[in-house]
Structure 1
Amino acid sequence: MKVTVFGASGGIGRLVSTQLLDAGHEVTALVRNPAKLGLTHPKLTVIAAELTDSTAVTEAVTGVDAVISALGPSLKRSDTGSPLTEGTKTIVAAMQAVGVARFIGLATPSLPDSRDKPHWKHKVLPVMARLAFPNALTELQNMTTAVTGSDLDYTIARITAPKDKPATGRVRSGFLGHDRIGSAASRADIAAFLVSQLTDTRYHRTMPAISN
């Protein structure tokens, strides 16, 4: 497949790109700083641009089969603004303009899915996030709404505590109150789950929570 990765120079995004290339996919990565990506491969195309550059974003998604977004907001309490919200809106508009439907991304269990049942995480996590990372939570809410309010064929994996640990090859996924989902997950396993959604049809237009 041909896949565009946004957030490719981040911890999860770099793993997503590597796993895609290792599996033989063609990857386009749009990044601000190609040097930070640190990857070279015959099947990798790197576009150096900001998410605000609608022309570059459109170029990045033209002719691909799917988009994987590993974008995540800064967790600095002092940060303000909505760069990733606006960037996600640009991505969605570009995908719609060129007819690419499949979007795979990330969010948090602080945001509910309609398939969830009542769960303590719905009460505790939003309060904790609002106190510790108010701007990040707002960004995630608005990024997610930009996708779920569109006609894209999305899967958004909700993660709580990504860890820099080796892949286990075991990922729990499902909906709060229905399935046994923990909190922590290795970034490598999160990346593997995102890549698996290229061919897994279980979670189309849903937001499963995942953990190890």
Structure 2
Amino acid sequence: MKIALFGGTGPTGRYIIEEALRKGYKLSVYTRGAGKLSAFGDRIEVIVGDLNNREAIKACVTGADAVISALGPNKQKAQEKRPVMRGVRTIISVMEELSVRRLIQISTASYRDPKDGFDLRSRGLATMFKLLAHNAYDDIKATAELVSNSHLDWSLVRIPFLKDGPATAQVDVGWYGRTKLGMKLSRGNLAKFLVGQVTAKEFVRAAPGIADRS
């Protein structure tokens, strides 16, 4: 099986690539700079382009069985509003054209799943994030809404604060307000969960929250 990965050069990307290769997947990774992936040599296919380049995105998705998007707002000021949402919109359009149905997208508690209960802590953090980084909050929320309204077999994986570290397999997965979810998650555990969702069916068209088990 083949995974098309977007956001593979971000802080979590290396963990996702290593986990996918460990599981025996073929991998095409989309990036604006191929040099950032040179350590992986010929073990992965590298496609160079930006999120406005539909043809390059199509080249990355062609032949894939699933798409993992680790795209998120970066610290640089974007020249256009909602850059991640715009990029994911093009990815979804390409997936529909190529009949690739499985999309796994990283998100946050900014998006509410219908299965969520009331959870003061996650709502408080989302509100604080909205006040401190309104544009990033708006982009993440708009991206999640775009994905959830698509006709794809999508999953939104909602994450807390990320930290560098390997997979321990000790995670809690569920719904805010109904499942005990901590506020930290190792990038290794996130990568393991994301890659696992390529074939898993439990969270298709759902947005589980995930956190390290405390």
Q: Same fold (TM over 0.5)?
A: yes
2:209 paired residue number: 209
> How far, CA to CA, are the matches of 1:75 and 1:172 in structure 2?
29
Judge which range, 119-128 or 22-31, deviates more: 119-128
Question: SS at 1:50's partner residue?
Answer: coil
- What's the CA shift string for 1:47-74, capped at 9, x where partnerless? 0111110011111111210000111112
The runs of at least 4 consecutive aligned structure 1 residues that moved more than 6 Å come to none
1:7 paired residue number: 7
2:113 paired residue number: 113
Question: SS at 1:210's partner residue?
Answer: strand
> How far, CA to CA, are the matches of 2:174 and 2:103 in structure 1?
18
Identical positions, percent: 34
Q: Counterparts in 2 of 1:66-105, with a 5 A limit?
A: 66-75=66-75, 81-105=81-105
Matched, 1:142 2:142: yes
Question: SS at 2:176's partner residue?
Answer: coil
Question: SS at 1:11's partner residue?
Answer: coil
Question: SS at 2:103's partner residue?
Answer: strand
Deviation of residue 144 (structure 1)? 1.1
Deviation of residue 187 (structure 1)? 0.7
Question: In 2 relative to 1, CA 108–133 (structure 1 residues): closer, same or farther, beyond 3 Å?
Answer: same
> How far, CA to CA, are the matches of 1:75 and 1:193 in structure 2?
25
Q: Which runs of 5+ in 2 are unaligned?
A: none
Q: Counterparts in 2 of 1:1-212, with a 5 A limit?
A: 1-75=1-75, 81-212=81-212
- What's the CA shift string for 1:22-48, capped at 9, x where partnerless? 221100001001112243244411001
Deviation of residue 147 (structure 1)? 1.0
CA contact (8 A) 1:107 1:157 kept: yes
Q: Please give the TM-score of this superposition, normalised by the length of structure 2.
A: 0.93
Aligned length: 211
Question: In 2 relative to 1, CA 18–184 (structure 1 residues): closer, same or farther, beyond 3 Å?
Answer: same
AA paired with 1:40? F
- CA RMSD in angstroms, aligned pairs only: 1.5
CA contact (8 A) 1:171 1:193 kept: no
Q: Please give the TM-score of this superposition, normalised by the length of structure 1.
A: 0.94
